[in-house]
Structure 1
Amino acid sequence: MYLEKLSVLNFKNHSESRLNFNSNINCFVGGNGSGKTNLLDAIHYLSFTKSFFIKQDSMNVLYDQDFMSIEGIFEKDHKTELVQCAFKTGVKKVVKRNKKKYDKLAEHIGLFPLVMVSPTDSELLLSGSDVRRKYMDSVISQFDKEYLNTLISYNKLILQRNALLKSSDSNTANLSSLSLYDEQLAPLAHIIFEKRQLFLNQLAPIFLNYYKAISNTGEQVTIQYDSQLSEKNFLDLCIQNSEKDRLVKFTSVGVHKDDLIFQLNGHPVKRVGSQGQQKTYLLALKLAQFDFMQEALGYKPMLLLDDVFDKLDDNRVEHLMKLVDKHHFGQIFVTDTHPERSKQIFNKINADYKLFHIKNGAIEKEE
């Protein structure tokens, strides 16, 4: 699978841009704020029906305009696939595949999968557990529809359970109603738990191999799945915490409290890791995700690398490019502020690539 063409209209700082891509490596180069990353985000939009960075669609529309559209032509399974996403202020977003409108956007997730590597990935290390749960959900949902549907149902029930807790007096919350929610939530929670656990068990050894390959050091790294369901089943947790839930007026236990623990040499990466080590950790995590998804899907997802060369020393960049040189990955999209650096890197490994010079939200030239 690869993206042949991309057309954007009034998307962020691009009034109108049309690009024909190389099936291997495509590099967007230009200064900060030129619109390089916005093109990556447009590709992400075609895959997930939303921006990687800004979830509110109206904030992605070009200033002083009231609509935007993104169109992509893919080659998949020897067939041409057309994906169209459009949004107009005050009107519901429309996503079409081969000119047929989706009733539910969730039906599109996983059809044109990708892995996005971005400087904002640092939030995985630095922010709260909700960011890491969203990461797991995003990955697994791209190849497992049962997981996505189960997660949607679980989250809806949790919202309803929390609404009941908030609407009831802390001393008189309806125990029978809560137990009804708990019984519906329990099988969903265990499906989510088991699938997340399987995902991490398979991802961890791949992640370790990538970290060693990129860092070329003896640093010890680990990634662990932390869940309350590892110790007790969901119903027991609910019973034991029912009094607490009535007092705090929200559901305090369940898979919506899961987390990932990232460590370097036995300590949290966010505390002891240098910028280069943290970036290597996250890059290894995302490349491991790529391998995992390829195995699960049976084909290669797209790989989007935003500003990946920044904060990596020459040694780590060289080892990363050696991985690319092995043609292990499929279609790759890269952004860089230094055109000559990109050309030097890709020429060194004799890569088949296309260079797009971006300036003020427009394609200045191609190489």
Structure 2
Amino acid sequence: MFLQSLSLQYFKNYEKADVSFCNHFNCLVGMNGSGKTNILDAIHYLSTTKSAFHSLDAQSICHKGKYFVVNGVFEKLDKIHQIHCSLKKNSRKTFKVDEAEYDKLSEHVGKFPVVLIAPNDDELIRESNETRRKFFDSIISQYDLSYLQALIKYNHLLKQRNALLKKMNEAGKVDAIMLDTYNQPMIQLCVEIAKKRMAFIEEFLPHLQSNYDRISDKKERVSIIYQTKVLSTDFEQQYAKGTQKDLITQRTNLGIHRDEYLFEIDDYLIKKFGSQGQQKSLLISLKLAQFEFVKSHLGITPLLLLDDIFDKLDDARISQLMSIIGSDDFGQVFVTDAREERTRSLLEGKFEPMKIFRVEHNTIEELT
């Protein structure tokens, strides 16, 4: 699978842009703030229906425009597909594949997979468990639609149950029958989701370790600890007993939304005891494992987006990463870099075919 061309209208800093890509290495060079990352985000939209960097779609509309349009032409399994994403201010987002609009955007997830390695990936280590849950949920959802549907349903019920808890707290009266209409389906969804998360980690971990070995020369053993109360034998009883606390706090305190993922290196928490180099190696290994995992489950080679990684890695890790992604296991790759000469020295003559584009003044120009 590869992206043949991209067309933008009023998307972020671009009033209008059209660009055609090659099927292997595509390098976007230009000063910081020129819009290189916005090109990657447009590709991310076409793959996932949403931005990789903003939670609100309206933030992707150019300040001079009242809407944005992102169109892409993909070749997948010898067939050409036209993907369209657009949004008008104060309107619903439109998403189409080959002129057909989805009933639900979730139906698109996993059809045109992408993996992004970006500077803010360190949030997976530094930030809350919610960040790690979202990361792993996004991987599972790309190959297991029933998981995604269960997750969407659970989050909907969770929002409703929390609203009910707040209402009962304010009224000073508990409606046990009404609460039970949420409790039973949520408990069932919790067990279904937790079992799939546990099975995923068991399958994912060997991919993570093998990639970490390649990045770090087999120096340490890494692991992911999945912690959940859902799979305990008395979870349903715990859930019932927690109602009083739920009423006081006005939120649901047990469930898969409280699950935790911990990254360890040689049995120590990498967040507390890992060096900067070890943390960077783990982050790269996570994304490469994601790439392998999605590819093996979907039978499609994802697009790989590398955003400003040369400034964040030392020369040894850059060399190791380039040698890995230069293999036949990888397909189309997009790289951004603020220094054109560095990109040329690292990639020219080593990866073919390759295109270099200069991004400046809100335009994209292909270089020779």
- Which TM-score band (shorter chain)? over 0.9
TM-score by length of 1: 0.95
List alignment gaps of at least 5 residues for structure 1: none
C-alpha separation in 2, matches of 1:347 and 1:257: 47
Match of 2:110 in 1: 110
Match of 2:136 in 1: 136
Query: Contact 1:325–1:351 at 8 Å: present in 2 too?
Result: no
Q: CA deviation at 1:118?
A: 0.9
1:73-119 per-position Cα deviation (integer Å, ceiling 9, x unaligned):
00012111000011111221111111122222111111111111111
Task: State whether structure 2 residue 308 is matched by structure 1 residue 292.
Answer: no
Q: CA deviation at 1:363?
A: 1.0
Cα 1:169–1:324 shift into 2, 3 Å: closer
TM-score by length of 2: 0.95
Query: Contact 1:29–1:338 at 8 Å: present in 2 too?
Result: yes
Match of 2:89 in 1: 89
Match of 1:187 in 2: 188
Match of 2:99 in 1: 99
> Superposed, which structure 2 residues align to 1:56-67 within 5 Å?
56-67=56-67
Query: Contact 1:25–1:354 at 8 Å: present in 2 too?
Result: yes
Match of 1:258 in 2: 259
1:277-318 per-position Cα deviation (integer Å, ceiling 9, x unaligned):
322211100100111111110121111111122232211111
Paired residues, number: 367
Partner secondary structure for residue 146 of structure 2:
helix
Q: CA deviation at 1:348?
A: 5.7
C-alpha separation in 2, matches of 1:178 and 1:351: 61
Segment of structure 1 superposing worse, 159-168 or 33-42: 159-168
C-alpha separation in 1, matches of 2:263 and 2:273: 11
**AA at the equivalent of 2:182:** Y
Task: State whether structure 2 residue 231 is matched by structure 1 residue 202.
Answer: no
Match of 1:174 in 2: 175
Q: CA deviation at 1:122?
A: 1.2
Q: CA deviation at 1:215?
A: 2.0
Match of 2:6 in 1: 6
Match of 1:358 in 2: 359
C-alpha separation in 2, matches of 1:33 and 1:277: 29
Q: CA deviation at 1:272?
A: 2.9
Cα 1:230–1:49 shift into 2, 3 Å: same
Match of 1:345 in 2: 346
Q: CA deviation at 1:217?
A: 5.0
Q: CA deviation at 1:142?
A: 1.2
Query: Contact 2:10–2:64 at 8 Å: present in 1 too?
Result: no
Q: CA deviation at 1:275?
A: 3.3
Q: CA deviation at 1:233?
A: 5.3
Query: Contact 1:25–1:351 at 8 Å: present in 2 too?
Result: yes
Query: Contact 2:119–2:312 at 8 Å: present in 1 too?
Result: no
1:173-215 per-position Cα deviation (integer Å, ceiling 9, x unaligned):
2222222211111221111111111111111111111111012
Match of 1:159 in 2: 159
**AA at the equivalent of 2:307:** D
Query: Contact 2:355–2:366 at 8 Å: present in 1 too?
Result: no
Query: Contact 1:33–1:360 at 8 Å: present in 2 too?
Result: no
Query: Contact 1:46–1:72 at 8 Å: present in 2 too?
Result: yes
C-alpha separation in 2, matches of 1:285 and 1:233: 33
Segment of structure 1 superposing worse, 202-211 or 233-242: 233-242
C-alpha separation in 2, matches of 1:267 and 1:56: 37
Q: CA deviation at 1:349?
A: 3.1
Match of 1:309 in 2: 310
Identity of aligned residues (%): 40
Match of 1:76 in 2: 76
Match of 2:53 in 1: 53
Query: Contact 1:13–1:360 at 8 Å: present in 2 too?
Result: no
Partner secondary structure for residue 228 of structure 1:
coil
**AA at the equivalent of 2:327:** K
Query: Contact 1:275–1:311 at 8 Å: present in 2 too?
Result: no
